[in-house]
Amino acid sequence: MLINCVAYQEGKKLSDIPVEDISDYVQRGDCFVWVALKDAEPEELAKMQEEFGLHDLAVEDARNGHQRPKIEEYADSLFVVLHTVEFIDGEPQLGEVAIFVEKNYVLSVRSRSQQGFLGVRARCEREPHQLKQGPAFVLYALMDAVVDRYFPVLDALETELEAIEEKIFAQKSQRANIERLYDLKRKTTLLKHAVVPLIDAVGRLHGGRVPEICFNTQEYFRDVHDHLQRINTSISAIRDTITTAIQVSLSMVAIEENDVHKRLASWAAIFAAATVFVGIWGMNFKTMPELDWKYGYPLALGVLTSVCGYLFYRFKKAGWL
């Protein structure tokens, strides 16, 4: 679906243009065209390829989707793939943005994402002195918007981790905590897979052999690179904390199991002592001592109670019961 198709000149909007006129504006050389698509059909991509002269391999990647975040060069053009991460009903959803950039055009293709870029376009149009830098600044603005949207996801992950940490030492909640920690680790890994590949890719847009189209906007891409580094550092800290929390939870499970074993062993010892006495007095020998003594039964009960009570006291004092 076509969202916008706009031509710009000297940082100012010329007009919305029909798709059929894109190639005419691209060939003028004094302006550039910014087109935005959402969940594009193969026919739409084919039309864009015809108007912009896009590389076959880049179009194939955009058509197939599910690409790894990357930045590829095709002659004088760039092909950028970004992953969007957003929470829907408490679950992170992964989307994708494919961006084609050359000196006279920017084409963004958004897939499986509810977050649009109308705000990015409005921001660029409010800053004509920046938009004068052309498609490279638009690429920066789009990348900056995607990366900035990682921060709320990161905050949500940190909040969820703090909530789990508060319950780590609660009784009889270790299994639920471990399940939540593994689920949180899965969410964190999803964000990590969106961030880490971009760090090296964006690093190539500032310093060293920079693509010609980005030569005058290196400081902007350095800013995006710094944001990615910060996010990656936070992700690593969250993953380390999750690993530690899982280890603590497993240790708590082991401690609880050990307490259960202690209680079972204590009761087993108490009943074993009673069984010994009952077994001795239960032997059917005619000449057994106290066999015909009228106080034998109460005395036997008293001895049993005293021994079992003493064992119970000792185990209780030792913390086994």
The predicted-structure confidence for 36-82, as pLDDT tens digits, reads as follows 999 989 999 999 999 889 999 999 999 988 889 999 998 888 999 99
**φ and ψ at 88, to 5 degrees?**
-130, 115
Please say which residue of 121, 148, 175 terminates a domain.
Answer: 148
Give the pLDDT band (50/70/90) at residue 175: confident
* Domain membership flag for residue 3: yes
161, 184 Cβ separation under 8 angstroms: yes
Q: What is the pTM assigned to this prediction?
A: 0.79
Question: What residues contact residue 100 under an 8 Å CB cut-off, 6+ apart?
Answer: 48, 52, 54, 58, 62, 77, 78, 79, 106, 107, 108, 109
Where is pLDDT greater, at 169 or 164? 164
Q: What is the pLDDT of residues 207-236, one digit of tens each?
A: 777 888 888 888 999 999 999 999 999 999
Rounded to whole angstroms, the Cα distance separating 10 from 30 reads: 8
DSSP 8-state class, residue 68: P
CATH number at residue 12: 3.30.460.20
Domain ranges, residue 312? 255-317
Within this chain, do residues 2 and 121 fall inside the same structural domain, yes or no? yes
* Domain membership flag for residue 286: yes
Q: What is the mean pLDDT of residues 155-174?
A: 85
134, 103 Cβ separation under 8 angstroms: yes
For the chain, the domain total comes to 2
* Domain membership flag for residue 162: no
Q: Work out the percent of the chain whose per-residue pLDDT is above 70.
A: 90
The letter for the amino acid at 215 is F
Rounded to whole angstroms, the Cα distance separating 140 from 217 reads: 8
Please say which residue of 108, 123, 148 terminates a domain.
Answer: 148
* Domain membership flag for residue 168: no
pLDDT > 70? residue 253: yes
Q: What is the mean pLDDT of residues 166-186?
A: 84
Which helix (H) or strand (E) segment holds residue 247: the answer is helix 218-281
Within this chain, do residues 10 and 130 fall inside the same structural domain, yes or no? yes
Between the CA of residue 295 and those of 219, 227, 283, what are the distances in Å? 100, 87, 18
221, 205 Cβ separation under 8 angstroms: yes
Q: How is residue 179 written in tokens?
A: 């399940």
Within this chain, do residues 135 and 2 fall inside the same structural domain, yes or no? yes
* Domain membership flag for residue 79: yes
Q: Beta-carbon neighbour count of residue 44 at 10 Å?
A: 17
Burial class (CB in 10 A: 0-12, 13-18, 19+), 65: middle
Rounded to whole angstroms, the Cα distance separating 50 from 35 reads: 14
CATH number at residue 273: 1.20.58.340
Within this chain, do residues 143 and 265 fall inside the same structural domain, yes or no? no
Rg over alpha carbons for the chain, rounded to the nearest Å, is 35
Tell me what the pLDDT averaged over the chain comes to.
85
| Least confident interval from 3-17, 42-56, 91-105, 167-181 | 167-181
